[in-house]
Structure 1
Amino acid sequence: FGGSGFDIACAQAKGPLTYTRNNYSPYVKSVELNYPFIENLFFVHLNKKKDSQKAVAGFDLNKVEVSVISQISKLTELMINCNDQDDFNLYLKTHEKIIGSILNRRTVQEVFFSDFEGIVKSLGAWGGDFVLVSGNKESPNYFKKLGYPTIISFKEMIL
């Protein structure tokens, strides 16, 4: 199909996972996510479907330095094992900045939600269907007021 295979791995999974693709071989690992701040995490649907096949085709992993890939992997592990929302937000923001730098694009938060008091993290083909939001229990109201009615709690989406 030309995509990364991530969507298929997610469809077959029974819970949260990490997905790595080295030399065109995927590696899928189940993970536990038991954040004490889980009630403050949401997925917001942006109604901006991106063509992930085009995004994957336009991305050359060979141009990304190994040290940057290692940094992204380390941030992923830190996020998985995080127990503090402020730390989690820092890891999300750092991850988003690195990916934005690689793709030479501004973050979805900078472009659409610069006044949001929390973190908005792109998912999928950078600014596509869903974003991950780390905020507080009132955060869904912010997005609803902006015309994004489809908001799914992290707990509901992950379980």
Structure 2
Amino acid sequence: MKQTFYSNGKLLITGEYVVLDGAKALALPTKYGQNLTIEEADNKIIHWKSFDHDGSVWFECEIPFSSIIERKRYDEIHNIKNTLIEILYEAYLMNTDFINNSKGYRITTELTFPKNWGLGTSSTLINNIAQWLKVDPYTLLRKSFGGSGYDLACAQNDTAIIYQLIDEKPVIENIHFHPDFTQKIFFVYLNRKQSSKSAIASYLDKQARIDKTVAIINNITKTVAYTKEPKEFALALLQHEIELSNILELQTIQEALFEDFRGVIKSLGAWGGDFVLAISKEDPTSYFKERGFDVVIPYEDMIL
């Protein structure tokens, strides 16, 4: 019997970093996501194959059931396999049936976006595995990858959400978010992967200020989520960038790369790579392409 599961990708519009400390974050599920297909096999082995958006295989391995039960670690060159075993081991602790009552599996994953885009390769996988095994995805995330969990909420919801951690538990509010000015909003892929460890360290060093920051970000999130005016939306995003820039002790992406841009650019999620949001009166596609950033996606093509 074949089973198929699907989860949405995500973009975090407001609340990066501060969402971990209870700030309200606006997050949007994307039209892109990931499928997980499960088929029965034998020999107490999982035959795993992962396809990128273009149909190419980007990862393939075999995992004996014993490796999951024993939480086996392979050499560093098998880093992806080790991560997968870690997820499946934690899932096994939550639901032993999928190992104890099975002969084996043939599992495939299929992304509908390029895996380096950062739209949630890991979160969509964890949510799909949780759906398959009927376990709590937030617990599975906490025990494997860690993180706030906003990406899981996007994986499960087809509308915009306000996401907040209260007593370390997710509180999700579904909202209608489709401002009249979406034709002015674009998502630009920077392809500038950087370690965010120093930014997180800088953020953690300033915990004394965090209550004030949470209140500021909450107000910004409310404005961004509900305003009808593009100017108010853009100014709120700019205020968000300035607030986080001061905390992280980093230049905003607009200061660093796009000082002459006529509009506002905001980092999405961890600073330093993947997508940014750009809002401007004119279509900015040619502006970004002239600077070597060829992936410019209009709001309507990206967001559910």
Q: TM-score, normalised by structure 1?
A: 0.88
Go from structure 1 to structure 2 and tell me whether the alpha carbon gap of 1:126 and 1:63 turns closer, same or farther (over 3 Å shift): farther
CA distance in 1, matches of 2:165, 2:245: 20
> Which residue is equivalent to 1:83?
228
Greater relative CO, 1 or 2 (CA 8 Å, sep 6+): 1
- Residue correspondences, number: 158
Alignment of 1:3-14 (within 5 A): 3-14=147-158
- Separation in 1, partners of 2:243, 2:283: 28
What residue identity is the alignment partner of 2:236?
Y
> Matched residue of 2:277: which SS?
strand
Equivalent position to 1:15, from 150, 153, 159: 159
Gaps of 5+ in 1: none
Amino acid at match of 1:11: A
Match for 1:31 among 147, 153, 175? 175
2:200 and 2:261 map into 1 onto residues whose CA distance is 32
Q: Which amino acid aligns with 2:181?
A: F
| Cα gap change, 1:10 to 1:69, in 2 (>3 Å) | same
User: Would the aligned equivalents of 1:79 and 1:91 in 2 still touch at CA under 8 Å?
Assistant: yes
Say what the alpha-carbon RMSD is for the aligned residues. Answer: 2.1
Consecutive unaligned residues of structure 2, counting only runs of 5 or more, are 1-144
> How far did residue 133 of structure 1 move?
0.5
Q: How far apart, in 2, do the equivalents of 1:99 and 1:112 lie? A: 17
| Residues in 2 aligned to 1:57 and 1:12: alpha-carbon distance in whole angstroms | 27
| Partners of 2:230 and 2:223 in 1: CA distance | 12
In the alignment, what sits opposite 1:106?
251
Hey, which of these two has a bigger chunk of strand by percent?
2
In structure 1, the residue matched to 2:24 is none
Cα offset for 1:72?
Answer: 0.7
Distance in 2, Cα, partners of 1:24 & 1:128: 27
Aligned-partner residue type, residue 177 of structure 2: L
TM-score normalised to the size of structure 2? Answer: 0.48
Contact 1:120–1:133 under 8 Å retained in 2: yes
SS of alignment partner, residue 65 of structure 1: helix
**Counterparts of 1:55 and 1:6, CA distance in 2:** 22
Task: Give the Cα separation in 2 of the matches to 1:121 and 1:35.
Answer: 17
Cross-structure match for 1:124: 269
Partner of 2:290: 145
* More displaced stretch, 39-48 vs 17-26: 17-26
Percent identity between the aligned chains? 36
Q: How far is 1:84 from its partner?
A: 1.1
Are the equivalent residues in 1 in contact too, given 2:254–2:264 (CA < 8 A)? yes
Q: What are the Cα deviations for residues 111-159 of structure 1, in whole angstroms up to 9, with x where unaligned?
A: 0100000000001111320000011342111111111111111122222
Question: Is residue 44 of structure 1 aligned with residue 193 of structure 2?
Answer: no
